Structure 1
Amino acid sequence: MPLSIDFKAGDKIIINGAVIENLGSNSKISVHNQAAILRGKEVLSAEDSTTPASRIYFALQCAYIFPQNLEEYIDAYQKLLDEYVEACPSASEIAEEVRRLTDNGQLYKALKTTQKLIQHEAEIIGSLQLDLDDAAVEDEA
């Protein structure tokens, strides 16, 4: 069954490593065979991968889009994920799901699950910021 993608004016998608941009009006495309596809909103640039979880996402994204360098990117992802779980054990359950999907070759699903890791990281950072803000208020009192 083909994958149907709404392709809005100005949107970009990556198909098998090629960046495709819609320069015209809204359209719909149909992909009839197996392909590595990421919509623009799913793509993370190297410059934007500034946190540990986003670096994991970026390494997996590269493994998915550039299968000719799969081993290199998987090695990087595994190292980053190991370091992340060591520093943030509360993310172990999400990390194990990412590992399972990656080990089974389901890189797109692993990317989607890594988004949960990024969300978890944001919640932890937000919680730490609240703790810092509370400590600053106590110091002022």
Structure 2
Amino acid sequence: MALNLTLKPFERVIVNGCMLRNGGRKSTIIVETRADIIRETDLLKPDAATTPVKAVYFLIQSALVDAEGRDKAAKAAQQRLAVLATTFSPELRGHVFTAANNVSLGEYFTALRDLRPLLAREAEVLAAPAEAPA
């Protein structure tokens, strides 16, 4: 099944570790074979990996874009996912297990997508004001 990738003007995308930038017009690229693809908007900068879920996201992202360091990043991501599995509620824990399974299968972008609900929950928790002691 082909992937239709519609790019906005000057939007960047990484394909198999190579950064590409679209020209000045909206365009569609059809990817007909398997490739590791991630849009620039889905990339997390290294200095933004400041929370446990973001750190795992960054490791999986690194496995996706860096074929040479893939095994090391994937192993580190699996170890951190194991820790995350003990911190989230049962409703969200399934996302951790699904992400870990996708990392094992080499489906790194799918694993990143699995982490989105965890990123949202983490942001909610960290944005909540601290309660005053009783």
For the aligned pair, the TM-score class normalised by the smaller chain equals: 0.7 to 0.9
Please give the secondary structure, in 2, of the residue aligned with 1:14: strand
Please give the secondary structure, in 2, of the residue aligned with 1:30: strand
C-alpha deviation, 1:15, in angstroms: 0.4
Mapped pair 1:122 → 2:119: no
Within 5 Å, give how 1:78-117 maps onto structure 2.
Answer: 78-86=78-86, 88-90=87-89, 91-117=92-118
How large is the RMSD of aligned CA atoms in angstroms? 2.0
Q: TM-score by structure 1 length?
A: 0.81
Alignment match, 2:21: 21
Alignment match, 1:64: 64
Unaligned runs of 5+ in 2: none
Alignment match, 1:135: 132
Please give the secondary structure, in 2, of the residue aligned with 1:19: strand
Alignment match, 1:42: 42
CA distance in 2 between partners of 1:81 and 1:100 (Å):
10
CA offsets, 1:30-88, max 9 Å, x none? 212111010122111112222111110010011122233221101221232233344x2
Q: Contact 2:78 / 2:103 at 8 angstroms: preserved in 1?
A: no
How high is the sequence identity, in percent, across the aligned residues?
Answer: 26
Identify the structure with the greater helix proportion: 1
Q: TM-score by structure 2 length?
A: 0.84
CA offsets, 1:86-118, max 9 Å, x none? 4x2425332112112222332221110012221
- Aligned residue pairs total 132
Please give the secondary structure, in 1, of the residue aligned with 2:48: coil
